[in-house]
């Protein structure tokens, strides 16, 4: 409800609630004739809470009039006898106080809500910006990914034509080549639809997300980058991993950043296996995802700083990946942290609420 409709409702409540309070106070069976004050104060509080200062004042004036008319000597008159003046004044002061407190509380809640909305909008925009940015970085590897099936299609198309040519075409081989063409075409279109899904705007934070599938999609996107850095990607998901509650694309954004960070941290490693291990397990009412690499690792001083916005050690880095990822995870009701580990490399983990 907006505009005039809301105004009518608020002033309607400001008129009706003192009338209702009066009705209850004067209802013989309720025996409240001697204690109408609390009922009128409730009416004022309700009106100010719903409508702010204007309706709160109207309810105060109406309550004061009803109070003076029915409950203050002389009865059935708006006049106030001299010895009743203190009681009446205290009533009016209490009503004004309750009304203004209620209106102030309403104002602060409204401004809090507006601030939250602005913040949410900014976060969504920021997440969108980083997603597009990371996409830029990935564009090269995606082009590479799509190029492979396309090259396969051309090779198999030529082969197919060759098998069909000549006096006695080899139909069996031609059929197999055609099947390989279909397989490669499907693969290319899958890659493209994954990219399209990643670039989509964010949805709601309460969808049911199949985590292992969402992570595998991200890994498929990172495969080219991993190959380029000679990094092995390994997953350990139990078969009965619980689905999580959240926004699939935002969760993929978090995983993407952790995986890219891991790959980048291992690019200079020469003396050990370059391997990124992603584990997930269900724990009571949440799911925990661990991303472990064998890269350059983090020393205790930088451990604390990696989540700071703009902290980066990379020439082309923005230093926003982890800070945005942490915001995304916390907005989902989970936690993203770095795990202190023995040996080389770094381990990051995050939790998300299980979808029940
Ligand atoms: N797995 C890791 N191993 C070692 N250092 C890491 C790892 N992950 C993050 N870091 C450190 O934390 C810094 C911040 O990471 P973050 O993802 O926030 O930004 P970035 O990767 O530098 O840039 P971008 O905004 O493009 O993601 C990195 O520059 C790096 O120094
Ligand atoms: Mg990063």
Nearest CA among 194, 295, 274 for reference residue 226: 274
First to last CA, the chain: 33
Which ligand lies nearest the alpha carbon of 268? 1
For 100-131, b/e burial (b = at least 16 CB within 10 A) is bebbeebeeeeeeeeeeeeeeeebeebbbebb
Q: Are 71 and 26 in contact (CB under 8 A)?
A: no
Pocket lining for ligand 1, CB < 6 angstroms: 257, 261-262, 265, 293, 295-298, 306, 311-314, 317-323, 346
Strand partners, 348: 291, 338
In angstroms, what CA-CA distances link 49 with 148, 254, 301, 339? 64, 41, 50, 47
For residue 312, report the distance from its CA to the centre of ligand 1, in Å: 6
For residue 292, report the distance from its CA to the centre of ligand 2, in Å: 14
Predicted TM-score of the model (pTM): 0.55
What pLDDT score does 126 carry?
Answer: 66
Angle at 237 between CA 231 and CA 240, to 5 degrees: 165
Q: Which residue has the tokens 């006695």?
A: 168
Residue 316 CB-density burial (10 A; 0-12 exposed, 13-18 middle, 19+ buried) = exposed
- For 308-324, give the secondary structure using H, E and C: CCCCCCCCCCCCCHHHH
How many Å apart are CA 33 and CA 130, to the nearest integer?
A: 66
The answer for residues whose C-beta is within 8 angstroms of residue 315's C-beta and 6 or more apart is: none
How many Å apart are CA 240 and CA 291, to the nearest integer?
A: 19
How many Å apart are CA 56 and CA 40, to the nearest integer?
A: 11
Angle at 288 between CA 287 and CA 289, to 5 degrees: 120
Q: Kindly give the confidence (pLDDT) of every residue in the chain, 356 residues in length, as a single tens digit, with 9 standing for 90 and above.
A: 567 889 999 999 999 999 999 999 888 887 777 778 999 999 999 999 999 999 999 999 999 999 999 999 899 999 999 999 999 999 999 999 999 999 999 999 999 999 888 877 776 666 666 665 566 656 665 676 788 889 999 999 999 999 999 888 999 999 999 999 999 999 888 877 766 766 665 567 888 999 999 999 888 888 888 888 999 999 999 999 999 999 888 898 899 899 999 999 999 999 999 999 999 999 999 999 999 999 999 988 888 899 987 889 988 787 878 888 888 899 899 999 999 887 899 999 999 999 98
What pLDDT score does 1 carry?
Answer: 54
What pLDDT score does 285 carry?
Answer: 95
What pLDDT score does 2 carry?
Answer: 62
DSSP states of 256-279 as a string?
A: HHHHHHHHHHHTT--SS--EEEEE
For residue 306, report the distance from its CA to the centre of ligand 2, in Å: 10
For residue 200, report the distance from its CA to the centre of ligand 2, in Å: 20
What pLDDT score does 90 carry?
Answer: 94
How many Å apart are CA 122 and CA 66, to the nearest integer?
A: 50
How many Å apart are CA 300 and CA 103, to the nearest integer?
A: 50
262 CA closest ligand 1 atom index: 1
User: Phi and psi of 246, rounded to 5°?
Assistant: 170, -165
In angstroms, what CA-CA distances link 265 with 36, 89, 338? 72, 74, 14
For residue 264, report the distance from its CA to the centre of ligand 1, in Å: 8
How many Å apart are CA 210 and CA 214, to the nearest integer?
A: 6
Structural Rg of the chain based on CA atoms: 34
Domains of the chain as residue ranges with CATH: 4-113 (no CATH), 138-200 (1.10.287), 202-353 (3.30.565.10)
How many Å apart are CA 320 and CA 350, to the nearest integer?
A: 17
348 CA closest ligand 1 atom index: 1
Q: Are 286 and 351 in contact (CB under 8 A)?
A: yes
Which residues lie near ion ligand 2 (Cβ < 5 Å)?
257, 261, 321
CB atoms within 10 A of CB 222: 21
Helix (H) or strand (E) holding 290: strand 286-292
């Amino acid at each position: 409800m907006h505009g005039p409709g809301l105004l009518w409702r608020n002033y309607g409540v400001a008129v009706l609630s003192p009338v209702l309070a009066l009705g209850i106070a004067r209802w013989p069976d309720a025996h409240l004739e001697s204690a109408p004050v609390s009922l009128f104060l409730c009416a004022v509080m309700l009106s100010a809470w719903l409508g702010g200062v204007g309706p709160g004042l109207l309810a105060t004036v109406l309550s004061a009039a009803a109070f003076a008319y029915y409950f203050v000597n002389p009865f059935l008159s708006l006049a106030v006898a001299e010895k009743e003046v203190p009681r009446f004044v205290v009533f009016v002061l209490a009503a004004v106080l309750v009304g203004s407190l209620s209106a102030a509380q309403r104002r602060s809640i409204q401004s809090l809500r507006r601030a939250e909305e602005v913040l949410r909008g900014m976060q969504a925009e920021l997440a969108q910006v980083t997603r597009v940015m990371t996409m830029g970085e990935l564009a090269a590897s995606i082009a590479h990914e799509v190029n492979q099936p396309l090259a396969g299609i051309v090779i198999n198309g030529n082969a197919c034509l060759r098998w069909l040519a000549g006096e006695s075409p080899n139909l069996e081989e031609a059929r197999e080549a055609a099947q390989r063409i279909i397989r490669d075409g499907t693969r290319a279109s899958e890659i493209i639809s994954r990219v399209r899904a990643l670039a989509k705007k964010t949805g709601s934070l309460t969808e049911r997300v199949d985590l292992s599938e969402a992570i595998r999609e991200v890994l498929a996107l990172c495969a080219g980058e991993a190959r380029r850095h000679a990094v092995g990607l390994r997953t350990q998901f139990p078969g009965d991993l619980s689905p999580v509650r959240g926004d699939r694309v935002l969760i993929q954004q978090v995983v993407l950043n952790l995986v890219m960070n891991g790959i980048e941290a291992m690019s200079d490693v020469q003396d050990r296996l370059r391997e990124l291990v992603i584990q997930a397990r269900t724990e009571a009412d949440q799911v925990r995802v661990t991303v472990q690499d064998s890269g350059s690792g983090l020393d205790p001083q930088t451990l604390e700083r990696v989540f700071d916005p703009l902290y980066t050690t990379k020439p082309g880095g923005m230093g926003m990946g982890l800070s945005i990822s942490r915001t995304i995870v916390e907005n989902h009701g989970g936690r993203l942290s770095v795990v202190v580990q023995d040996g080389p490399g770094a381990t990051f983990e995050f939790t998300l609420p299980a979808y029940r």
